[in-house]
Structure 1
Amino acid sequence: MQITASTVSLTVDDVAASRQFFTTHLGYTEQAAAEGFASLSRDDAAVDIVLLARGIEVLPADQRDQHASGLILAFTGTDIEKEAKRLSAEGVEITMPLREEPWGERLFQITDPNGVVVQFVEWVAPSSPQGA
């Protein structure tokens, strides 16, 4: 099998709120939509996103009432400090401020209106040697 794309499907309470958040602030475009459903995509290597309303009957019965939680949708890129400033200027709350881990990971997080955590990561030279 050859994988041609990757998509994450998120079950949320308010599809319209998440759709607006991802299209307004994160550069996604709507590819398809219907009652309780939206498919979002970008022109770069970011994962596609499908938003499904909690309780929607297209999901198996044991999955219908679950809510997207306990996961982090992480995007690796460059110049995330500039991205954090842009998002903040647009009124998006930075729910975990920009920080750098000793192993060279710079990251910050935002959270969409349905509680979906979005993390931005940039890899830099570690500030201290591993194991030091």
Structure 2
Amino acid sequence: MQAQNLGLVLPAADVPGAAEFYTAHLGFTAHVVLSWYASLGHPDVPGAFVDLVRTGHPAAGAAQAPAGGARGVMLALLVADVDAEYRRLRAAGLELLTEVTDEPWGQRRFQLQGPDAVVVELVQRTAPDAEWLAANP
């Protein structure tokens, strides 16, 4: 298989509202925003996109849960300065799910609540702990 793009499709109860969250707070660009569908790209990640489809719309397909959002879905973004992003998003009044933490596998990260139960994680790469890596091959 030769893929041309990489995308993630998320359910959204309020597609324009969810699109506004991703564009206003996470730097996405809206290519299309309709009442039932939106396509978002990120200027820093060409060829990747996030699409939003209104929950229950036929375009979502029968497998998508009719309610409850996207439980268990995490959208992760690699950033250059996770601390600056944490301060910016906290100042914007968003619901932060975790504090900034340093993980032994080589990440500095935090999570915030996105629309429709999507967890958004912002991650900065760090040097992994050699002892931890040796104990967790």
TM-score of the superposed pair, with normalisation by structure 2: 0.84
| 1:120 is aligned to 2:122 | yes
Do 1:6 and 1:48's aligned partners in 2 also have CA atoms closer than 8 Å? yes
Secondary structure (helix, strand or coil) at the match of 2:33 reads strand
Secondary structure (helix, strand or coil) at the match of 1:95 reads coil
Amino acid aligned to 1:14? D
Q: Which residue among 96, 111, 117 is the counterpart of 1:109?
A: 111
> Is the deviation greater in 55-64 or in 34-43?
55-64
Do 1:57 and 1:64's aligned partners in 2 also have CA atoms closer than 8 Å? no
Give the Cα–Cα distance (whole angstroms) in 2 for the partners of residues 58 and 93 of structure 1: 30
RMSD: 2.0
Aligned to 1:52: 53
Give the Cα–Cα distance (whole angstroms) in 2 for the partners of residues 29 and 56 of structure 1: 23
| 1:9 is aligned to 2:27 | no
Give the Cα–Cα distance (whole angstroms) in 2 for the partners of residues 21 and 35 of structure 1: 15
Do 2:106 and 2:129's aligned partners in 1 also have CA atoms closer than 8 Å? yes
Identity over the aligned pairs, expressed in percent?
33
Secondary structure (helix, strand or coil) at the match of 1:96 reads coil
Deviation at 1:4, TM superposition (A): 3.0
**Residues 1-132 of structure 1: matches in 2 within 5 Å?**
1-45=1-45, 47-63=48-64, 65=66, 67-127=69-129, 129-130=131-132, 131=135
For structure 1, the residue ranges without an aligned partner over 5 or more in a row are none
Secondary structure (helix, strand or coil) at the match of 2:18 reads helix
Do 2:19 and 2:33's aligned partners in 1 also have CA atoms closer than 8 Å? no
Task: Judging by fraction of residues, say which structure has more helix.
Answer: 2
